Amino acid sequence: MARRSALKRLIGRSQLRRRVRELAAQIAHDYRGQQPVLVGTLKGSFVFLADLARLVDLPVEIDFIGAASYGQARETSGQVRVYHEPRCELQGRHVILVEDIVDTGLTLEEVRRFLEARGPASLRVCALLMKERAREAGITVDYLGFVVPNDFLVGYGLDCAERYRNLPDVYVLDGEG
């Protein structure tokens, strides 16, 4: 397939598995005796959330929030819109926002603000990936899988115009993609 040649593997499935297991263990330790709500950002976090939720040894609840800034483009539009709200009652709950990737941090900021307004007992962020530029900008999260280069990534839930989400590894998408 011509398009496949534009994909360069960055993080393999076993490395992902190992790191997600570590994050799950850390969360299970920190929330022992509690029932946190994992709120995944649509759609990119669905694979990470599914793996994390199955590895975390806690009676978690699952919900989703839909926030979009990129649309079909590879660059952020700079405006984040919440298009799907979580259905769970979040007031007084321990909420863990599960993000696929932090790039400019705009989505994270907007979603965090949105969730804070629901009055959770606590709110922490677990992101699988963070781009170098976000780290350099001083953006921090409570649980982080990997710092990644400022490339456009696909796979393990991440798409380009809705393609590649089902690839089991994380790839850099070059050129034509």
| By CB under 6 A, residue 125 contacts ligand 5GP | no
Is there binding between residue 58 and ligand 5GP (CB under 6 A)? no
Strand-pair partners of 101 = 129
Q: Which residue has the tokens 């696929």?
A: 100
- Give the CA distances from residue 103 to residues 63, 85, 141, 160, in Å, rounded to whole numbers and listed in that order: 22, 22, 12, 15
What distance in Å separates the CA atoms of residue 131 and residue 146, rounded to the nearest whole number?
Answer: 9
| 41 contacts ligand 5GP (rule: CB under 6 A) | yes
Number of residues that bind ligand 5GP (CB under 6 A): 21
Q: Which is nearer to ligand 5GP, 51 or 103 (CB)?
A: 103
**SS3 for 8?**
strand
103 lines the binding site for ligand 5GP (CB under 6 A):
yes
6 binds ligand 5GP (CB under 6 A): no
Structure tokens at 10: 């960055």
Cβ-based nearer residue to ligand 5GP, 26 or 69: 69
Quote the Cα angle for 10-77-147, to 5°.
25
Only segment of 10-18, 20-28, 81-89, 105-113 that touches ligand 5GP (CB under 6 A): 105-113
Say if CB 50 and CB 20 are below 8 A apart. Answer: no
11 binds ligand 5GP (CB under 6 A): no
Hey, is 135 helix, strand or coil?
helix
Judged by CB under 6 A, does residue 104 bind ligand 5GP?
A: yes
- Nearest to ligand 5GP of 36, 44 (CB atom): 44
Please identify every residue annotated as catalytic: 103
Q: Which of 66, 31, 82, 67 is nearest to 52 (CA)?
A: 31
Residues that bind ligand 5GP (CB under 6 A): 41, 44, 69-70, 76, 99-108, 152-154, 158-160
